[in-house]
Amino acid sequence: MIPVSGKQLLQYQLRLAAMHGKKVLITETEHDRPALFSGKQMPDFYDVGQEQAQRFYDTVLKSLIQA
């Protein structure tokens, strides 16, 4: 969940990108119980993020790069 101010900033960034002819692709990584600074779980968070990044590349980015 993004705080209200974060959502508004994201909308500004998306509009600015569109004004400059840019396309923004967004992906999300979900964790069982996320916390900002959870030292013990941090390696797991990185692993899940890396797996999501690979899936995003395989399913979205790869075809855009090859086009």
Largest CA distance in the chain: 42
pLDDT on residue 7:
86
Domain count, the chain: 1
* HSE-up (13 A, CA, CB side) for residue 47: 4
pLDDT on residue 61:
93
pLDDT on residue 2:
59
Mean pLDDT for back-to-back runs of 10 residues, the chain (67 residues): 78 95 88 69 83 94 87
Long-range contacts of 1-7 (CB under 8 A, 24+ apart): none
Amino acid at 31: H
pLDDT on residue 48:
87
pLDDT on residue 50:
93
Q: Are 39 and 46 in contact (CB under 8 A)?
A: no
Segments forming the whole domain that contains residue 23: 4-66
